Amino acid sequence: MAAASSAAPARHSCAKLSVPVEDPKAVPAGAGTVFVKATWLPSRFSLAVTDGAGAWVADASDHEVRLRAEQWDQPVADYLALAEHYLAFQQPDSTYSFHDAGKGNRRLSWTFERQGTKLEWRWKLQPSPNTQQTISEILDFLMDANIRLSEEVVRKTQSFDKLKQEAEKCLQQSERFNNEKAEFEQATFSKFVAVLNSKKAKLRQLRDKVVELESAGKNPKEEVEQEEENSTDRTELFEGESDKEASINDEPSGTGSGNVHSSPEKSASTSRGRGRGRKRAKK
């Protein structure tokens, strides 16, 4: 079990917690703040706490964590998740304390509510065997985290600037499209107005013509019918002339060869006479 826990990837956190001061007159200003660096594993965790002057550590073994979880009727994973929730970041609904536990030890505690009941968890910490190294590790972790956050801020800022530039380009393109649309609509409307005005002018001309015909005593409808009758008379006259020309072409001509207008009987007798003449010559 311990081998599996050590092989699992560890998570690290560091929280700045505000804690009450036991004797405000005996401590310098700002002593009500501690930094808690935690290392979280699947079945155990470790703490390193400093107030800037001293350092304390606690190493919760698998056995201790399992006993605490059983006391609170929780699985080990839930117990560790709840502890990480309150020690990775300061929760506004929780009260933290960091008091003397005798013999140089300290007790870190925090409160939480469960089903309407306010509860408190406590962990005892011992003085660090190497105070300067522990404080240095906490400061290094904070500096590295600050650098990562600064780099993340720079990346986010650059990404925001890029998105802002793209948004400005899109806005300019949208304005250009709107202007082109307005110009197209204006040109189309102008053409439509021109066509509409020409139609109106044509209608006015027709109306003036109707008024002129009515003032002359002519019915516009009769005028139209008269024009249609004239057109029909001209068509009938043309057809009559065509029939007359056809009858003239059918009469026999008084000049030219007589063979063209000879009768069939005459042609037959002439052929028989020519045949007898050819027979006599042969004899």
Q: Is the pLDDT of residue 3 over 50?
A: no
DSSP letters, 45-92, are: EEEEEE-SS-EEEEEE-HHHHHHHHHHTT--HHHHHHHHHHHHHS--T
DSSP-assigned letter for residue 128: P
Residue 218, helix vs strand vs coil: coil
The whole-chain average pLDDT of the chain stands at: 79
Residue 97, helix vs strand vs coil: strand
pLDDT confidence band for 32 (50 / 70 / 90):
confident
pLDDT confidence band for 240 (50 / 70 / 90):
low
Q: Could you tell me if residue 102 is left (phi over 0), alpha (psi between -120 and 50 degrees) or otherwise beta?
A: left
Task: Tell me the β-bridge partners of 98.
Answer: 108
Mean pLDDT across 84-95: 92
List C-alpha distances in Å: 195 to 184, 205, 221.
17, 15, 28
Q: Is the pLDDT of residue 144 over 90?
A: yes
Q: Map out the domains of the chain as residue ranges.
A: 2-129
* Main-chain phi, psi angles of 12, to 5 degrees: -125, 145
Q: Is the pLDDT of residue 38 over 90?
A: yes
Give the least confident one: 42-46, 118-122, 185-189, 268-272: 268-272
Q: Is the pLDDT of residue 243 over 60?
A: no
CATH 3.30.390.50, domain 2-129, yes or no? no
Predicted local distance difference test score (pLDDT) of residue 216: 81
Q: Name the more confident of 176 and 260.
A: 176
Render pLDDT for 185-229 as a digit per residue (tens, 0 to 9): 988 988 888 888 888 888 988 888 888 888 887 665 666 566 566
Q: Is the pLDDT of residue 58 over 90?
A: yes
- Structure token digits, residue 162: 């890029």
- For residues 89 and 145, what is the distance between their CA atoms, to the nearest angstrom? 14
Give the least confident one: 42-46, 187-191, 222-226, 266-270: 266-270
